[in-house]
Amino acid sequence: MKNKERVSFRNWLHAVGTGQAMVLLGVSEATIRNWRIGRFLPRAVQMVKIKKASKGKVSIDEMVSAHMAFKKERTGNHATN
């Protein structure tokens, strides 16, 4: 099997652009913005669409890991404020 170049979900969204991502994934601009900043995790059906639209460059594991890192960082920041 060919080794696929991996890309972060955030970088893929940036490269594709908000408008095209909205069309490809059938979601609103606010949803794209919230995904980009890590506020929300895409639903399972959306993750599969993202993986297909990125031609496998964005993995489901990467989406979940990025979201969990955001949540961990955010919780850490609240604990120090």
8-25 pLDDT, tens digit per residue, is: 999 999 999 999 999 999
Q: What's the distance, Cα to Cα, between the start and end of the chain in Å?
A: 48
Q: What pTM did the predictor assign?
A: 0.80
Q: What mean pLDDT value characterizes the chain?
A: 88
pLDDT > 70? residue 3: no
Q: Which residues contact 71 (CB under 8 A, 6 or more apart)?
A: 38
35-56 pLDDT, tens digit per residue, is: 998 889 999 999 999 999 999 9
